Each structure stands twice: as C-alpha cells, then as structure tokens.
Amino acid sequence: MFVNHQLSDALGHGREELEVLGAPVPGELVHPEDAAALTEFRKRLDETTDGEVLELEYRVRHADGSYRWVSDRGVVFDRTPDGGPRQILGLVRDVTPRRRSEEELSRQAAELQRSNKDLEQFAYVASHDLQEPLRMVTVYCQMLQKRCGGKLGEEADEFIGFAVDGARRMEMLLRDLLVYSRITGAGTGEPSTVDCEAVLREVLVTLSTALQESGAVVTHDRLPLVRVQEVHVHQLLQNLIANAIKYRSDEPPAIRVSARREGAQWELAIRDNGIGIEPESREEVFGVFRRLHGNRYAGTGIGLAICARIVERYGGRIWVESKPGGGSTFRLTLPAAEGVE
C-alpha cells in the first residue's frame, strides 16, 4: 500500500504510520458513527464490476484529536484469478470546509424556517386577537358619530370622522393580514382537482356589484383543471379581477382571463386595459402593504402579496407585464391536475 504526502498532511499522521495501520484510512481513525458505513463501503468495493467507482464521505480523527471529513473514492483495477481485488486505486480528499459550509447553511435554513413559522403564528394570533377590541372601538366611534354629529362643532365632527375611517382601515388590514398568515399555516387543507372556470363563475357573482357599477366586461377562454385548494384559486381570481376593476382607466374595464399549458403547469393570465404599472414597480407590487398610489385607491396593499404567497405555496411564480396607460397582464403558474391534458 502507498500513501502520498497530501493524505498524511490532511490527517496529520505520518505516511509510515498510515501505511503500517493499513487502509488508506485506518479503521482506528474513523469516527465510530461512520465505521459501519465504511465497512459496508469496502465490502461493496470488493464486489464491484470492472471500472465501477464507489464514493463515501466519512469522518476521520486528525492527529490533533479533531475530526475531519474526507471523500473516499475507490476503484478495483486489478483482480486475482478468482476475481478478488488485487490492486485498488483510492482517492481520499479532505472535504471538511465544504461539509462545514453545508452544515452551516442547513442550520441557517432550519433557523430561518423556525423564524418564519414564529412570525406566521404571531401574525395570525395578533390579527385574530386584535379584531374583537378593534371592533368595539369601531362600534363606539360610529355611535359617537351618529349621536353627536353636528352637536360638538365642525372640528369635532372632522376628528370623529378620522377616528371612524382609521378604525375601518385597521379592520381591513387585520382581516387581510389574517388571510395572508393562513395561506401557508398549519391546517390549511390538502390540494384537490379544481375547475378554474367554475371558480371564475363564483368570483364574478361575488364581484357582480363592482362589475355593474364600473361597466366592466369579463371574458375568458376555456379554463383548466389545476391541483390546488379551491379557496386559493378563488382568492387569486378575485384579487386580480378586483384590481383590474379598481385600477381602471377612463374606459370601462375590459378583462380577459386565459390559460395555456406549460409542461406540468398551467399558466393563467388576467389581462386588463387599466392604468398600467411603471416598469420599476413591477416587482414592488407583490410586497406586503405596497400601495403605489397612496390613498387614491381604497385597499390595504396586501392583495397581490396574498396572490404571490399562494402561487409560491405550489411551487409556481407570478409576474406582471405592463406599461403606464397600456393596461396590465398578470401571469401565474399552478400545477396541472394529474391525468388531465
């Protein structure tokens, strides 16, 4: 057996010591938790076909007492007449820096996941538990406005109006935050086969008042079956169509819902003839509480963030194609229902 200087330097043991102990990596130096895997690896190596390369990563005790990760690759290139291995070419590399980086990334990913779950739980609890006391504030502000309006002076009426509007807006924010936190939370249900066209019909009934008041016309292609939760398709279509109505131009809204197959996914598109979006804001619109137009339009600025959260839950993506004054087309991908073209 021959051991080169690189391996002896990596392990901190002299070449002669390693050659006497045998291997190229002696069993005495292998971490106890990896010993069984290494024994199986060497057994399998003896049974490999000509030219077959095997690889295993395991920990080896350095001369300083610490453990290093090594990658051990072996191939039998000469056999005895009875087929047993006569000569084995082995390549042992120190991969400790890479393994430590992977472990650190894994630790950070796990920590981030825990942090995200904590934040989701906090958002849910905060938005849920705050609704009742806020409802009480809203009710009493409205009672004050109704009973004392015009009796306390013009300035007082203005202040009461501010309080009522603020309470209503806070209710909307908490409601939407609760919806947002529920999307990926526990107990949200399992995906099923959903008919997007049937859901669209329900959405149009829900939005019938807004459609009539704005003079909007919604047309659509034959829409597909997707594998998601039905409530999520409803939220997607309702948010995007409602936005198309809200951010309309001087012309009555003309909204088109279409779909096309993209491999294992369906791409849905909601096109409108509204006011459009500036190029630099196409990513920003999907952020939480992002309102590009300030208070010119009602809303909380969380609708598109909800859409993005839903689509990401199913491994899809959402984006917008738009230009100011030229309308917008929101595109998103969802998994196709199995066995359906």
Amino acid at 177: L
pLDDT band at 188 (very low <50, low <70, confident <90, very high): low
Supply the pLDDT for residue 145. Answer: 85
The answer to whether residue 40 scores a pLDDT higher than 80 is: yes
Cα 114 to chain centroid distance, Å, stands at 14
Mean pLDDT of the region 178-188:
65
State the average pLDDT for the chain: 83
Which pLDDT band holds residue 4 (cuts at 50, 70, 90)? Answer: low
Can you name the CATH fold of 101-182? Helix Hairpins (1.10.287)
Quote the pLDDT of residue 74. Answer: 84
Q: What is the pLDDT of residue 26?
A: 64
List, in sequence order, every residue forming a beta bridge with 320; answer none if it has no partner: 330
The C-alpha atoms of residue 311 and residue 52 are separated, in whole angstroms, by 44
Tokens of 55: 């690889």
Predicted pLDDT of residue 18: 59
What pLDDT, on a 0 to 100 scale, did the predictor assign at position 202?
A: 94
Read off φ and ψ for residue 20, nearest 5 degrees: -70, -40
Of the chain, the end-to-end C-alpha distance in Å amounts to: 61
Domain spans of the chain, in order of start: 5-94, 101-182, 192-335
d(CA 121, CA 113) in angstroms, rounded, equals 12
Q: How far is CA 268 from CA 222, 233, 247, 260, 332, in A?
A: 11, 11, 20, 7, 5
73 within 8 A of 48, measured Cβ to Cβ: no
Give the pLDDT mean for 164-190: 73
Please state, in angstroms and rounded to a whole number, the distance separating the CA atoms of residues 55 and 44: 11
Lowest mean pLDDT among 36-45, 119-128, 284-293, 330-339: 119-128
192-335: CATH, from 3.90.1310.10, 3.30.360.10, 3.30.565.10, 3.30.420.10: 3.30.565.10
Backbone angles phi, psi at 232, to 5 degrees: -70, -40
Whole-prediction pTM value? Answer: 0.58
pLDDT at residue 264 in the model: 92
pLDDT at residue number 297: 64
- Residue 298 in this model has a pLDDT that exceeds 90: no
Q: Which token pair is 189?
A: 């249900």
Q: How far apart are CA 253 and CA 218, in angstroms?
A: 8
Under the banding of pLDDT at 50, 70 and 90, the label for residue 84 is: confident
pLDDT of residue 208: 92
CATH 3.30.450.20 for domain 5-94: yes
Q: Determine contact, residues 193/337, Cβ cutoff 8 Å.
A: yes
pLDDT in tens, 114-168: 777 766 666 666 666 777 777 888 888 888 888 888 888 888 888 888 888 888 7
Highest mean pLDDT among 45-59, 265-279, 286-300: 265-279
The whole-angstrom separation of Cα 162 and Cα 169 is 11
